Chain A
């Protein structure tokens, strides 16, 4: 009874996509942490390590449970009877006869789980746990295939090594060679220590710069770290965070600083229904954030707004310059957006304001979208105004003549505990108001691809040099 309940539960967990499970754990733990700090006065960080470990543990349950049960059930009843006949207690029979006999099947389950978990662990990047997924997420965003491949291959090699170490332990247990078991355990301990060491040794005084999962965020995080280090403030970046995770992480002091966009916070974080003019929105947002002890340090100087984009030549040919013009043609057209867009309030607002209704709607990885619209595979995309690919592919942003989409000023946010940190503020001050849309587009374009000078750090240095020339 208990067994089938457990197995059923584990199976359900297993069918959940790894990413979803990991993403679910963050708000869950966050709520729990809030409760414990209210009740017992001690909270814990719901960010990064803890949710990853818990979610992955759950995820590994099924193969381990199932194989343990199968292994134990597969034992010849004559042997368990012989164990009882020899005078073993139930526990002795389990320890001396049943578990050793089921060991190969149990170990097979553990090995399956280990390989799965190492693969799935790459998905813990968005909830703030640095992992091999950092390479994969960053690589996918900046179209750096070397990074993607490195992340994948490293994860695969790690999985194979762990699998072999577990195989060694298994064979050691079976033929009773202590040395095999010891080597295997030692190997796994060394790997675990090596992977845990970086996050454990990090000093508390380091400033943590957060970044969401797209190119511009990687570049800006690199730029901020660069400035902090120049001001003698040790900094590390925590990249590839999910946009639902990053704000809560800042509010909970799990990260210290990051760049967000005014319209995103307005609509998604605070669920404000009505749109405000740019400056009004900013000042209201600043006040709202202040109530949560978050400092809106200032704007960087550009907007990364959602915009409907088309190839300029095609738009001109059809006489489409604004979204109102587009509405008339939309019935025959297809639109593509990233995985978030069609669920965002902006899309609802656009549809309502212009009565937009497209023939077809597709979701794409944002980097492929631009190429897709340029090649005519889709007619319109919901892109970002600061994207470097706009210039590269000769796209044009359609005018939002009914002001359905809010403004998206890039703003620097500070965590509550760093609100009064004068040194930090001073280090970031030179960036405020300095980055215009043209420079940001260029930086984003430079950060795309495999070349050595396309790394976020290199581009960040270029960006710093460029804004100081002016």
Chain B
């Protein structure tokens, strides 16, 4: 998969935020991070809250600019690219949804094609296609407004919006966090299939280690702004980093506890 040159590459990227307080308020949200993502790769990013995952994603489509280091997309340093065009070429699913409350679902999904000047009829067809894809009934949802949807439905619209302009690269910030396990599982594997079918390159932030291991080709582990591990599941398990070990062990431990609880209740 990584026989070609990387599609996205971070090289010694640093991003600090001024916490506002005069003293000691400086947060190194991303601290000297370097990694490559090959075209067609599905990368999951995991790590504790505040470890810099979202910041990493925002850097990739120039919602913010790094303090140091370079980021390239398709070999080009993005510092020299028009950010508007860059963002229209990259799909982005926001952690908080970020749907426009004054636009109906169809308008929300079709926003980037509209900005690109795609004909209306083409946008409408694309919107329907995407609603199918994220398992929302076309007729029922097209004309509704975001506040008329459940949290999970909104997240699915967010995913559809990110895909609307047929991007090659999709950045997803906890796209399935508010979904029930059944839908989440289904949507996750549907997306994985789509990713493969369309030849997408996906970076997905998740808190769910099982999801990360099941969907992604490789998993990146962030900790306090640093990228402490990056690799496929087996590669990660060979590392002797206690934090990574704990993270990796979580799904199995949960499964075992669950098993125990279930068999106990059967015995009773």
Q: Within the complex, what minimum Cβ distance (angstroms) separates A394 from chain B?
A: 72
A100 to B101 CA separation, bound complex (whole angstroms): 10
Interface: B111 (CB within 8 A): yes
* Given A86-B112, A86-B115, A92-B115, A100:B102 Cβ within 8 A: yes
Asked if B98 contacts A82 (CB within 8 A), the reply is: yes
Looking across the interface, which residue of chain B has its beta carbon closest to that of A101? B102
> What per-residue 1/0 map shows which CB atoms of B27-71 lie under 8 Å from chain A?
000000000000000000000000000000000010100000000
Asked if A82 contacts B102 (CB within 8 A), the reply is: no
A88 to B103 CA separation, bound complex (whole angstroms): 15
Interface: B94 (CB within 8 A): yes
Contact of B94 among A85, A89, A174 (CB under 8 A): A85
* Given A84-B63, A88-B115, A92-B115, A79:B84 Cβ within 8 A: no
Q: Which of A79-114 contact B (CB under 8 A)?
A: 79, 81-89, 92, 96-97, 100-101
Interface: B88 (CB within 8 A): yes
> What per-residue 1/0 map shows which CB atoms of B92-120 lie under 8 Å from chain A?
10101111111000000001100110000
Interface: A78 (CB within 8 A): yes
A81 to B95 CA separation, bound complex (whole angstroms): 11
Q: Within the complex, what minimum Cβ distance (angstroms) separates B55 from chain A?
A: 12
Asked if A78 contacts B112 (CB within 8 A), the reply is: no
Asked if B100 contacts A79 (CB within 8 A), the reply is: yes
Contacts of A84 in B (CB 8 A): 63, 87
Q: Which of B159-174 contact A (CB under 8 A)?
A: 161, 165
Asked if A82 contacts B84 (CB within 8 A), the reply is: no
Looking across the interface, which residue of chain B has its beta carbon closest to that of A174? B102
Instruction: Please count how many residues in chain B sit with their CB below 8 Å of the partner chain's CB atoms.
Output: 21
Asked if B100 contacts A85 (CB within 8 A), the reply is: no
Looking across the interface, which residue of chain B has its beta carbon closest to that of A84? B63
Contacts of A100 in B (CB 8 A): 102
A131 to B33 CA separation, bound complex (whole angstroms): 70
Asked if A82 contacts B100 (CB within 8 A), the reply is: yes
A79 to B99 CA separation, bound complex (whole angstroms): 7
A83 to B63 CA separation, bound complex (whole angstroms): 10
Contacts of B97 in A (CB 8 A): 78
A373 to B96 CA separation, bound complex (whole angstroms): 74
* Given A86-B112, A88-B115, A79:B98 Cβ within 8 A: yes
A100 to B145 CA separation, bound complex (whole angstroms): 15
Instruction: Please count how many residues in chain A sit with their CB below 8 Å of the partner chain's CB atoms.
Output: 17
Contacts of A89 in B (CB 8 A): 84
Asked if B61 contacts A85 (CB within 8 A), the reply is: yes
Q: Within the complex, what minimum Cβ distance (angstroms) separates B83 from chain A?
A: 8
A187 to B147 CA separation, bound complex (whole angstroms): 33
Asked if B101 contacts A101 (CB within 8 A), the reply is: yes
A100 to B104 CA separation, bound complex (whole angstroms): 13
Q: Within the complex, what minimum Cβ distance (angstroms) separates A18 from chain B?
A: 36
* Given A100-B102, A101-B101, A86:B96 Cβ within 8 A: no
> What per-residue 1/0 map shows which CB atoms of A414-430 lie under 8 Å from chain B?
00000000000000000
Looking across the interface, which residue of chain B has its beta carbon closest to that of A80? B98
Looking across the interface, which residue of chain A has its beta carbon closest to that of B92? A85
Q: Which of B3-30 contact A (CB under 8 A)?
A: none
Contacts of B63 in A (CB 8 A): 81, 84-85
Asked if A81 contacts B102 (CB within 8 A), the reply is: no
Contacts of B116 in A (CB 8 A): 87
Q: Within the complex, what minimum Cβ distance (angstroms) separates B70 from chain A?
A: 21
Contact of A87 among B88, B98, B100, B102 (CB under 8 A): B88
* Given A81-B63, A101-B102, A87:B112 Cβ within 8 A: yes
Contact of A81 among B94, B99, B112 (CB under 8 A): B94
Q: Within the complex, what minimum Cβ distance (angstroms) separates A463 from chain B?
A: 65
A112 to B111 CA separation, bound complex (whole angstroms): 34
A86 to B91 CA separation, bound complex (whole angstroms): 8
Q: Within the complex, what minimum Cβ distance (angstroms) separates A93 from chain B?
A: 10
A81 to B98 CA separation, bound complex (whole angstroms): 8
A469 to B21 CA separation, bound complex (whole angstroms): 91
Contacts of A101 in B (CB 8 A): 100-102
Q: Within the complex, what minimum Cβ distance (angstroms) separates B66 from chain A?
A: 17
Q: Within the complex, what minimum Cβ distance (angstroms) separates B224 from chain A?
A: 24
Q: Within the complex, what minimum Cβ distance (angstroms) separates A223 from chain B?
A: 62
Q: Within the complex, what minimum Cβ distance (angstroms) separates B29 from chain A?
A: 15
A88 to B116 CA separation, bound complex (whole angstroms): 10
Looking across the interface, which residue of chain B has its beta carbon closest to that of A92? B115
Looking across the interface, which residue of chain A has its beta carbon closest to that of B104? A176
Asked if B99 contacts A82 (CB within 8 A), the reply is: yes
Contacts of A79 in B (CB 8 A): 98, 100-101
A101 to B85 CA separation, bound complex (whole angstroms): 25
Looking across the interface, which residue of chain B has its beta carbon closest to that of A100? B102
Contacts of B101 in A (CB 8 A): 79, 101
Looking across the interface, which residue of chain A has its beta carbon closest to that of B111? A86
A81 to B100 CA separation, bound complex (whole angstroms): 11
Query: 9 tightest A-B contacts by CB?
Result: A82-B98, A87-B88, A87-B87, A85-B92, A78-B96, A100-B102, A86-B111, A86-B112, A87-B115
Given A82-B99, A87-B116, A100-B102, 11 extra CB contacts under 8 A: A78-B96, A78-B98, A81-B63, A84-B87, A85-B87, A85-B94, A86-B92, A87-B88, A87-B115, A87-B165, A88-B84
Q: List 11 A-B contacts (CB under 8 A).
A: A78-B98, A79-B98, A81-B98, A82-B98, A84-B63, A85-B98, A86-B161, A87-B115, A88-B115, A100-B102, A101-B102
